[in-house]
Structure formats: C-alpha cells, structure tokens
C-alpha cells in the first residue's frame, strides 16, 4: 500500500519544528522506521510531516555530570558503537543489538523509539530500569519528565502535542551498578515476546535498589516490584514466585506463556545482576 498524500517540511531549527507542529495534523519524522510503516499501512494519515533530521544538535552522546545524555536524533547504530555508552551506560549497550536489524538501527533514533513507546521495545524498558529521564522542548520551553511518569499507556506518553523530545538521560554507571538484560524473540531482531531490562546496586554480596522493567507484557514497560523486593533479599526462586505481572494474550503468545517466559528471563537476568560488572 501507499501512504495517503501528505505535505513535507524540513525544520531548520528546534523552534521551527515546534512551530510547525502547531499546523493541522502535523507529525514529526525522525528515522521513519516506525512512522513510515504506519503511513504505508494507512494506520495514520497526517497532513504534514515535519522532518527533524537536519537538527544536528539533537544528535550526540556525552557525559554531563552524573548522567549520560543521548540526543534524540542519535541513531541506534551510533549508540551501539559508542564507547561512551559501552562504558557509562552498559544496560543500553546490552540492549542495542536486539533492536530490529542493522538497516533499522542505521536509521532509527533513540528519541523516536522513546516517543513511539512501543510496549515491546527495548529502550523504554531500559530507561525505566535506569530511573532515567526525558527532556522535551515545546512552545513554553524545556521540561524534564522522569521515565516512570513518561509512559502513560499503549503508544501513549507524557509528550504534549507540540513538544519535541530532545534528549534522554540515564545515570552514569558507577562501580556498584549492576545491569542485566535478556529477551525472547521468535527471531533475533524481531520485537520481543517478553523482555527484561534490570539494574541494581551491589551491596556486599547482595543487591539493593533492584529495578526490573519488563517489556512485551503490558501497555507500557512494567516494573515487577514484588519480585524486585524478593530478589534484593537474594532469593531467585522467591523472586520468580513473586512475579507480579498481568500480561494479556497477544499475537506472539498467550498470557500464560508470557508469564512463564518472564520467570525464565528473571532467572537469567538475576545471574547477570549477581555477577561482577562486565
């Protein structure tokens, strides 16, 4: 299928992008890896595409104080190859190779993935597991939203209609940080049936501040808080038994199968969290 007709404008500045979003049925175009598919399938038919690919100041990865800041237009492939990400944001480094295929990672952006908020996507769960935050710019200026407040529902976020997501920030990993990541997909690169992104802090031989963020099991990335508490007490079996998830059946698997797989992933990720930092 072909998309419905639309107008196209290339924004030359962030202010211009925000202003163009004020036009009727305007939509931002970043890497286009999700948006163009929805246009082609006529699941969405905006009047105007506002291309932000020229806003090069939204592209980049840097350490700013105690946070790693990743510009919204940073491509997945850039993050995958980044030494800064490998060293200071190891959870994101582990997740990147699971996102689609190389052609998708060459074009798709981190900002696009967070803004699109697919419940089976890896990066929203990583952001939640790391207690990260999102920076946005709109007509009234900049705003910072914590990941826990950002993902509101199925493909629904706290982004206001005229806001552009400009960057995400996650804490710089220190020597006590432990991270774990695993997902089950039918083929490598497919959206996950179930996935788990996790972080914790080492406390002697145990863990504290355990954060388990599942994806593919609800309308948003979901924390399994009872399992977090059980895992912090060092009991993996108890953590699996305490898994407080309530997935629905979907095209990939039944709710029962997803819940079982969530337990399998928890055992894998718990081992990673309890290992020395890579």
- By CB under 6 A, name the binding residues for ligand FAD: 27-35, 37, 72, 99-100, 104, 108-109, 111-113, 115-116, 118, 121-123, 159, 164-165, 191
Tell me how far, at minimum, the Cβ of 110 lies from ligand FAD, in Å.
8
Tell me how far, at minimum, the Cβ of 116 lies from ligand FAD, in Å.
4
- Closest C-alpha among 234, 149, 167 to residue 200: 234
CB-nearer residue toward ligand FAD: 29 or 269? 29
Name the closest residue to ligand FAD (Cβ).
Answer: 108
CB-nearer residue toward ligand FAD: 9 or 201? 9
Are residues 131 and 148 in contact, defined by beta-carbon separation less than 8 angstroms?
Answer: yes
CB within 8 A of 16, min separation 6: which ones? none
Tell me how far, at minimum, the Cβ of 165 lies from ligand FAD, in Å.
3
CB-nearer residue toward ligand FAD: 116 or 150? 116
CB-nearer residue toward ligand FAD: 115 or 261? 115
Tell me how far, at minimum, the Cβ of 257 lies from ligand FAD, in Å.
19
Tell me how far, at minimum, the Cβ of 181 lies from ligand FAD, in Å.
13
């Amino acid at each position: 299928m072909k998309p419905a007709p639309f107008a196209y404008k290339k924004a030359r500045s962030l202010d211009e992008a925000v202003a163009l979003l004020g036009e009727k049925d305007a939509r931002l175009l970043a890497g286009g890896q999700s948006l163009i598919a929805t246009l082609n399938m006529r699941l969405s038919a905006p009047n105007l595409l506002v291309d932000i690919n020229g806003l090069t100041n939204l592209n980049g990865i840097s350490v700013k104080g105690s946070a790693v800041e990743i510009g919204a237009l940073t491509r997945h492939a850039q993050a995958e190859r980044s030494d800064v990400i490998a060293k200071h944001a190891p959870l994101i480094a582990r997740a990147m190779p699971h996102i689609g295929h190389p052609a998708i990672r060459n074009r798709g952006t981190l900002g696009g993935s967070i803004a699109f908020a697919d419940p089976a996507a890896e990066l929203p769960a990583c952001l939640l597991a790391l207690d990260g935050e999102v920076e946005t710019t709109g007509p009234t200026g900049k705003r910072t939203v914590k990941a826990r407040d950002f993902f509101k529902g199925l493909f629904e976020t706290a982004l206001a209609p005229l806001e552009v997501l400009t960057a995400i920030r996650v804490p710089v990993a220190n020597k006590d940080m432990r991270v774990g990541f695993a997902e089950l997909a039918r083929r490598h690169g497919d959206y996950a049936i179930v996935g788990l992104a996790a972080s914790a802090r080492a406390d002697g031989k145990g863990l504290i501040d355990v954060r388990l963020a599942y994806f593919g099991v609800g309308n948003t990335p979901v924390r399994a808080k009872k399992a977090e508490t059980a895992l912090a007490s060092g009991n993996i079996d108890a953590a699996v038994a305490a898994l407080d998830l309530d997935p629905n059946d979907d095209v990939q698997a039944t709710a029962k199968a997803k819940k079982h797989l969530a337990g399998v992933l928890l055992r894998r990720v718990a081992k990673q969290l309890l290992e020395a930092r890579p």
